Structure 1
Amino acid sequence: MPTIDWKKIAVTSHVSIREAMKVLDVTAMQIVVISAENDTLVGTLTDGDIRRALLAGCTLESAVEEAMNVQPAYGLNTESEIRWRTKMQSKGLRHLPIVDVNKKLVSLFYLKRDVIQGHKNPVVMMLGGLGMRMRPLTETVPKPMLKVGNKPILEIILEHIVEQGFVEFYFCINYLGEQIRTHFGDGERWGIKIHYVEEQNRLGTAGALALLPEFEHDFIVMNGDLLTKVDLVALLNFHREHANSITACVREYSQQVPYGVVEFSDTKVTQIVEKPVYRHFVSAGIYALSPSALGQVSFSGYYDMPSMMTDLLNQNYPVGGFPLTEYWMDIGQMPDFEQAQIDYSHHFAQTL
């Protein structure tokens, strides 16, 4: 019977979200149970719960109780395994805390993860940029082919995506694109299929989508100059769960004002906030799209993803945000490239 000692995946409600994420990472069980001092179940926390909490204004230092599901499904230890499975199937769950009649935790029942099969969701990589801010390095080499550690940026992110079970790729190329085609070929070396979409003119991060075939499944669009450990399966699950036309990955960006900020009501000072920190979400260059979204926009020449999202919003189509909690680096300028060289050994060298 696939169960696990609940104490291995348990935290109290007062620990930070960051600490709970460490438990998620170490156990790889995709769930944390929240227990009281008397071992009773008070909630559960999943990856999706964390991302929704961040969108609602929490930070990684917020207490778990601000993000947890306070009405989790659970099974009784007096029930049969068939009953547990039925409950999980009806709610679309992979994990079920098991408790006794006093709601004290006994174990965690889970469905074993299947061997990774090839996802049917295509991954579209946008690789046609000129890389002007990275000159002179990009005068003869396209930015996705610049090496971080001992591999091109694109190869590092490709291998991370392949590890997640994605097998169908579309490379949208323009500037020095033949170097990319020569290096990656048809993808056989990675056990995948790579299709090439050649832009005769630079079409932008969304304009090239008009050149793609019609997809039957939700698909990923991603800039090719990123280093990230993003969980694309979680992104697609989030996208479907919220029935979005497009879901943009977002990253928290904080700005601290180095002065005391004076707030007014008419001409009267209401308060002075010393060196406040303002939090914003910025686009991370990674998107999940539903095939139907493409039929709602008009592609004509250069067209970028922010414009596409704005057009969909103006037509009242659901556009969502997926906060990244994983490593992410946009290699837009030379300092970013230099930082990526430092980060590589910690985040990628040991797994690739």
Structure 2
Amino acid sequence: MSNAAPLSNVCIGPDATVRHALETIDRGASAIALVTDETGKLLGALTDGDIRRALLKGAGLDDRVHEYANTSPHVVSPAATRASVLDLMRSLRISEVPVVDDSGRLVGLHTLTDMVGRKPLSNIAVIMAGGRGTRLGELTKDTPKPLMTVADRTIIEWIILGLVESGVTNIYVSVAYLAEKIMDHLGDGSSLGCTIKYLHEDPARPLNTAGALGLLNHDVPGISEPVIVTNADLMVRYSAADMLAFHESKGSSVTVAARPYTHQVPFGVLDIGEGRAISAVVEKPSIEVEISTGIYAVSPDALALVPYMEPFSMPDLVQACIDQSKTVAAWPIESDWIDVGTPKDLATAKGQ
């Protein structure tokens, strides 16, 4: 959560005066004063513009500020994502958004300065968006899977905004199937707070899930930092900065973002021993494993293993690193994760 300053520095009581509100705004890091009661419940908000308009209408500096406060300010919950808060700020042309809990108690303040003031990372990110999305059937006949819409944004936009939130703004998108539609939709990335360039695969000869890294290594010589690689059909929240820090701490050539997956076998499983003798029957057991989420950190030494203009998969790359005794690590993702591969998955992502 973005707090430009302690909340006490921007809060005033309902009996405060206009003068007190001006002093609060003047000494604070935000151009807003928040009116709260003794329990911390948000009663209203005043910006410097609100106070200026009140003074022009005849308000006195010693008037009670609550008379001029906006008693229904736009607020968000603690669970609001950075992308949704930025969308709200841009659509309403506001620079501060209070954060309140279910009881209406003020628990934070998002400011535009803090939202865009993240620590920038110089790492490149590559989004693999060249696949045909055949499992989605007719849905991807005329629309590439990354442009499927979830919560009023395309899937690939959510991925890009997540990267930008982590400070990664140098992004390459690998395109092949219906490439023009993806490029027309994303453009140069300026509307999403980043720079987007494109890696072009031949739709007639797809390069699999890692082949575009060979294009990157060829087109962008001298890469010296790990690259974030992600599939373009994922709905997941994660910190690229945290993943890169883990990657560095392990000295990895490749780090795979992993999460637990449980599969329940729908049958009774037999424990069969010597002579085909059954020693036990386990009815519908659950098998727990960790799976790849389609998100990776790849160091330059691993990039060099990807051939140029040849099909190559991420499992191929992982295995090549293992064969050369390079370190391959698994970074745990604990948040919800959806691989939007089927109509059912897409409906789940949409909350249907």
| TM > 0.5 | yes
Instruction: Choose the corresponding residue for 1:338, options 325, 335, 347.
Output: 347
What are the superposed Cα offsets for residues 85-137 of structure 1, whole Å, 9 maximum, x if unpaired?
xxxxxxxxxxxxxxxxxxxxxxxxxxxxx952211111100010011111211
What are the superposed Cα offsets for residues 298-335 of structure 1, whole Å, 9 maximum, x if unpaired?
44521111111111111111111122201211000110
Counterpart in the other structure of 2:140: 138
Counterpart in the other structure of 1:40: none
Counterpart in the other structure of 1:161: 163
Alignment of 1:206 with 2:210, yes or no, is yes
Counterpart in the other structure of 2:186: 184
Output the CA distance in 2 between the equivalents of 1:260 and 1:336.
28
CA contact (8 A) 2:211 2:306 kept: no
Aligned-partner residue type, residue 315 of structure 1: Q
Counterpart in the other structure of 1:34: none
Output the CA distance in 1 between the equivalents of 2:348 and 2:135.
15
Output the CA distance in 2 between the equivalents of 1:171 and 1:297.
17
CA contact (8 A) 2:215 2:308 kept: no
Counterpart in the other structure of 1:279: 288
Counterpart in the other structure of 1:252: 260
The SS at the match of 1:121 is strand
Output the CA distance in 1 between the equivalents of 2:119 and 2:317.
32
Alignment of 1:288 with 2:297, yes or no, is yes
Alpha-carbon spacing, 1:135–1:317, altered in 2? closer, same or farther (3 Å): same
Aligned-partner residue type, residue 311 of structure 1: A
CA contact (8 A) 2:302 2:317 kept: no
Counterpart in the other structure of 1:173: 175
Counterpart in the other structure of 2:25: none
Counterpart in the other structure of 2:326: 317
Output the CA distance in 1 between the equivalents of 2:120 and 2:192.
12
The SS at the match of 2:185 is helix
The SS at the match of 1:308 is helix
Instruction: Choose the corresponding residue for 2:240, options 221, 232, 235.
Output: 232
* TM-fit CA distance, 1:263: 2.6
Counterpart in the other structure of 2:151: 149
What are the superposed Cα offsets for residues 211-250 of structure 1, whole Å, 9 maximum, x if unpaired?
1113221110000111110221111111111111001112
CA contact (8 A) 1:297 1:312 kept: no
Aligned-partner residue type, residue 122 of structure 1: I
Output the CA distance in 1 between the equivalents of 2:306 and 2:130.
21
What are the superposed Cα offsets for residues 139-198 of structure 1, whole Å, 9 maximum, x if unpaired?
111110111121111112211221121110001111111111111111111221111111
Counterpart in the other structure of 1:4: none
Alpha-carbon spacing, 1:266–1:133, altered in 2? closer, same or farther (3 Å): same
Aligned-partner residue type, residue 167 of structure 1: T
Which 4+ residue blocks in structure 1 deviate beyond 3 angstroms?
258-262, 267-275, 296-300
RMSD, aligned CA: 2.6
Aligned sequence identity (%): 35
Instruction: Choose the corresponding residue for 1:266, options 267, 271, 274.
Output: 274
Output the CA distance in 2 between the equivalents of 1:256 and 1:134.
25
What are the superposed Cα offsets for residues 50-91 of structure 1, whole Å, 9 maximum, x if unpaired?
xxxxxxxxxxxxxxxxxxxxxxxxxxxxxxxxxxxxxxxxxx
Name the stretch that deviates more: 272-281 or 230-239: 272-281
CA contact (8 A) 1:230 1:328 kept: no
Output the CA distance in 2 between the equivalents of 1:322 and 1:227.
17
* TM-fit CA distance, 1:264: 4.4
* TM-fit CA distance, 1:262: 3.6
How many residues are paired up? 236
Output the CA distance in 2 between the equivalents of 1:300 and 1:128.
14
Q: Which runs of 5+ in 2 are unaligned?
A: 1-77, 80-115
CA contact (8 A) 1:297 1:311 kept: no
Q: Which runs of 5+ in 1 are unaligned?
A: 1-24, 27-113, 344-352
The SS at the match of 1:244 is coil
Aligned-partner residue type, residue 197 of structure 1: L
Output the CA distance in 2 between the equivalents of 1:207 and 1:191.
27
Output the CA distance in 1 between the equivalents of 2:289 and 2:258.
9
Counterpart in the other structure of 1:193: 195
The SS at the match of 1:171 is strand
Counterpart in the other structure of 2:228: 220
Output the CA distance in 2 between the equivalents of 1:244 and 1:182.
36
Normalising by structure 1, we get a TM-score of: 0.62
Normalising by structure 2, we get a TM-score of: 0.62
Aligned-partner residue type, residue 183 of structure 1: H
Alpha-carbon spacing, 1:298–1:184, altered in 2? closer, same or farther (3 Å): closer
Alignment of 1:6-45 (within 5 A): none
